[in-house]
Amino acid sequence: MFAYYLDLALRSLKRSPGLTALMVLAIGFGVAASMTSWSVFRAVSGDPIPWKSASLFVPQIDNWGPNGRNPDGDPPNAMDYADATALMRDHRAKLQSAMYQISPSVVPADAAKHPINVSGEAVYSEFFPMLDVPFQYGSGWSASDDENRAQVVVISDKLNQKLFGGANSVGRNASIEGRQYRVVGVLKDWNPQPRFYDVVNSGGFDSGVKDVFLPFLTAIQANLQNDGNTNCNAVPKEPGFVGLQHSECVWIAYMAELDSASAVTAYRDYLQGYARAQQQAGRFGWAPNNRLRDLRAWLDNQHVVPSDTKVSLLVALGLLLVCLVNTIGLLLAKFLRRSSEIGVRRALGAPRKAIYLQFLTEAGMVGAAGGVLGLLLTCAGVASVGWVMPKDIADLARLDVSLLVLTLLVAVVATMLAGLYPTYRASRVQPAWQLKSN
């Protein structure tokens, strides 16, 4: 019987190819437009480390007081040197790292080559296990290397290619800002976007790759200046990089891993106690005003997602709605027109159920065809994102399969519902009436 209904539906759709094409196109475009912008949206708001983002936390300490807070009462979004190193010393989280951005020049061993300017990060040893950083060769350095200000470095796959031709360079020396550092690890291709561990400096997105990772205290000792943002509420009393370290200027990012709710509470209490101690010591003239956000809340708080993509998503959703409403209207028109046909079938003895089945088949076919077209257009759309969007965003634009399935389902169900109502109306009418009125 179903095959017969399929055949009937095909015949009926063929009778008005224009209208059918219109309905299918409307659904297809609606699905494709909303899915394409959704994938772009996800690309920029996507969780960069989904398996761990709930246990990564960013603490903020109010070292500026009421005048330095933003309108929401939030303290500065980075730390000064004193607080960052104190938190590292206390070491209260399972894993933690302070970090700041550096931009040293690297001199290749081959003297004929020009020195290259690279972007990097000064971090603590726990940075690597905390963020599950993948290594190609070797590993990160040890906690004692942190303490001893060891001359070690972790380099990117790209820099390893440039300096050592891609060979296993662990144990070899790299010349960075005029000093020799021993390579302890080479990363695999690792460039998470958004650059979640250092949102304040990258604005979340940065097409460049971090090429060198040096121990934090080593970098401080080597006088490697901060290459990221520095925010001050007062001019540092002493000049230079040392002056910056002694000032209340904020320029250091901080992240901690806390695995359980009790650990989070304990850490919150610890921060409270730290700020209170600073208040008692006379450094802070105000009550503790700390923040401890998990990674997702932090990214949201720092407006890492460009508002554009959200708005374009809304616009695309609007388009999907318009297309669906449009299809419903057209199906309604098409089906209501066929009350006489229903009358004939009913008069010949078809039960209501059979009528419903026939029309749902037809509506379902329109919905499915629209869905398939939508699927194809979405694939084309997502593939062409790289062609129109900036590379850093386009690289991340991937199709969300579960959402796509949901949209297709919505499209098909909406068309079937649209088919149901006129069928209901037509099948209510007495067959005799329908036949007579013709």
Partner 1 sequence: MQIKPILAALRRHRLATLLIAVEIALACAVLCNACFLVARRWTMIQINSGVDESSLAVLTVNGFDPKLSADVNARMLTGLRAIPGVQSATLISEVPFGPQTGAAGVTHEPGDFKNLIGVVDFVLAGPGTFKALGLKLVEGRLPQPDDYRPATSFLPDYAQVLVTRQWAEHAWPGENPLGKSFWCDKMHFRVMGVVDHYARAQPGQYDLGQGEWTVFTPVVPGGSLSGTYLLRARPQDVQRVLQAARAAVQKIAPDVVLDQDNSKTLNDLRANYFKSDRIMIGLLLGVVVLMLGVTALGIVGLTSFWVAQRRKQIGIRRAIGATRGDILRYFQTENFLIVTFGIALGMLLAFGLNAVLMRFYELPHLPLPYLPVGALALWGLGQLAVLGPALRAAAVPPVVATRSV
Contact residues for partner 1, defined by CB under 8 A = 19, 22, 26, 29-30, 33, 37, 67-68, 103, 105, 114-117, 233-235, 239, 307-308, 310-312, 314-316, 318-319, 321-323, 325-326, 328-330, 332-334, 336-337, 388-390, 421, 438
Q: How far is the CB of 411 from partner 1 (least distance, A)?
A: 14
Task: State whether the Cα torsion 207-211-215-216 is positive or negative.
Answer: negative
In the complex with partner 1, the residue whose CB is nearer, 323 or 404, is 323
In the complex with partner 1, the residue whose CB is nearer, 126 or 198, is 198
Q: How far is the CB of 350 from partner 1 (least distance, A)?
A: 23
Q: How far is the CB of 214 from partner 1 (least distance, A)?
A: 17
Q: How far is the CB of 227 from partner 1 (least distance, A)?
A: 10
Q: How far is the CB of 415 from partner 1 (least distance, A)?
A: 13
In the complex with partner 1, the residue whose CB is nearer, 315 or 409, is 315
In the complex with partner 1, the residue whose CB is nearer, 13 or 316, is 316
What pairing do the DSSP bridges indicate for beta strands 95-102 and 120-123?
A: antiparallel
CA dihedral 59, 195, 78, 246 (to 10 degrees): 120
Q: How far is the CB of 308 from partner 1 (least distance, A)?
A: 5
Q: Which residue reads 């190609």 in tokens?
A: 136
Q: How far is the CB of 180 from partner 1 (least distance, A)?
A: 18
Distances, alpha carbon 400 to alpha carbons 43, 124, 375, in Å: 10, 35, 12
Q: How far is the CB of 312 from partner 1 (least distance, A)?
A: 6
Q: How far is the CB of 15 from partner 1 (least distance, A)?
A: 13
Q: Which residue reads 């998503």 in tokens?
A: 313
Q: How far is the CB of 210 from partner 1 (least distance, A)?
A: 15
What pairing do the DSSP bridges indicate for beta strands 291-294 and 56-60?
A: antiparallel
Q: How far is the CB of 135 from partner 1 (least distance, A)?
A: 28
In the complex with partner 1, the residue whose CB is nearer, 20 or 55, is 20
In the complex with partner 1, the residue whose CB is nearer, 209 or 264, is 209
| SS3 annotation, the chain | CHHHHHHHHHHHHHHCHHHHHHHHHHHHHHHHHHHHHHHHHHHHHCCCCCCCCCCEEEEECCCCCHHHCCCCCCCCCCECHHHHHHHHHHCCCCEEEEEEEECCEEECCCCCCCCEECCEEEECCCHHHHCCCCEEEECCCCHHHHHCCCCEEEECHHHHHHHHCCCCCCCCEEEECCEEEEEEEEECCCCCCCCHHHHHHHCCCCCCCCCEEEEHHHHHHCCCCCCCCCECCCCCCCCHHHHHHCCCCECEEEEEECCCHHHHHHHHHHHHHHHHHHHHCCCCCCCCCCEEEEHHHHHHHCCCCCHHHHHHHHHHHHHHHHHHHHHHHHHHHHHHCCHHHHHHHHHCCCCHHHHHHHHHHHHHHHHHHHHHHHHHHHHHHHHHHHHHCCHHHHCCCCCCHHHHHHHHHHHHHHHHHHHHHHHHHHHHCCHHHHHHHC
User: Taking the chain, what is the end-to-end CA distance rounded to the nearest angstrom?
Assistant: 28
In the complex with partner 1, the residue whose CB is nearer, 19 or 86, is 19
In the complex with partner 1, the residue whose CB is nearer, 32 or 123, is 32
In the complex with partner 1, the residue whose CB is nearer, 91 or 428, is 428
Torsions phi, psi of 322, nearest 5? Answer: -60, -45
In the complex with partner 1, the residue whose CB is nearer, 168 or 437, is 437
In the complex with partner 1, the residue whose CB is nearer, 245 or 312, is 312
